[in-house]
Amino acid sequence: MNKRIFDIFLSIVLLPIILILVLIFSIILIFELKQFPFFIQERGITLTKFRFKIIKLRTIRRSDSKVKDQPILNTSVFYKFHFINDVPKFAGWLRRTGLDEIPQIINIIKGDMSFVGPRPFMLSDLKLLEKSDLELYKIRESFNSKPGVTGLWQIFCNREEGAKNLIALEKIYEEMKTVKYDLKILLYTLPIVLTANNADSIFCSTTFPRLNNLHFSNSTELEIVFNKSNSKLSSTGEKYNIRLPGDWWTIDRSLEFESNANKQLTLLKINTSSQKTA
């Protein structure tokens, strides 16, 4: 099945439920935040690629002065703990479940987004990413996948490892994506929503392996090799390891990623091995 057809079909199935939930959530947020429950935000994969506007449920109670101060406060792409006192109880629950993202079904129907894909970031975050990790940022510019409500990074992210973790997981998806792959990612997303375990930038600093108590029967070790053409690293590059539950995350061979035209930081290959866990 074509990925776009899959997105439209699933949107039609979920739309009635989502509209009811959005109505309920917005009424509760009006009473809790004392503010209009929706706002428009511009996001993208990079500052020049897949930029679009989304309607979001408001979860942060902010005054006009705090909005003006946001560029000063927003110094991290992956952690925004300075907003924690501005998120009341129900709004916090929405963030921890990820249900604050459900109005994005409108963008899926319009074709701006897919259910599964790389995470779209606010423009202010993209500027920070470009400034702090330019070479990793450039890899994002090579992505052809539409932004996703969920994805490998959204469910397995380690925010402490920053942009390297983000790009590695998103590049894996870029190479592996199929409708079957999307279905599996959606199935892994469901328990995160139901248990309010979303790796949120304000509340959650842990990683997906926090669910290790579910006792995965096996796992996949991924060895990602980054290569910096202008660095003094050896020819094998800088190795980065990721462990994911299950053994279906990659095809059964090493992946070869070609260097981009600018010879910037590039994922050269991923070596995979499945191993049984205790």
In a domain, 60, yes or no: yes
Structure tokens at 126: 């993209």
In a domain, 22, yes or no: yes
pLDDT at residue 65, as a whole number: 43
Question: Would you put residue 225 in left (φ > 0), alpha (ψ -120 to 50) or beta?
Answer: beta
In a domain, 44, yes or no: yes
pLDDT at residue 250, as a whole number: 63
pTM higher than the cut 0.85 = no
Contact 156, 208 (CB under 8 A): yes
Rounded distance, CA 161 to CA 110, Å?
Answer: 33
Enclosing domain of residue 52: 3-212
In a domain, 163, yes or no: yes
Residue stretches of the chain with pLDDT short of 70? 1, 63-74, 204-218, 227-237, 247-278
pLDDT at residue 245, as a whole number: 76
The tally of domains found in the chain comes to 1
In a domain, 250, yes or no: no
Sign of CA dihedral 27, 28, 34, 40: negative
pLDDT at residue 204, as a whole number: 67
pLDDT at residue 215, as a whole number: 47
| Interior/surface letters 132-165, b for 16+ CB within 10 angstroms, e for the rest | ebebbbbbbebbebbbbbbbbbbbbbbbeebbbb
Which tens digits make up the pLDDT trace of 239-254? 788 877 776 666 544 4
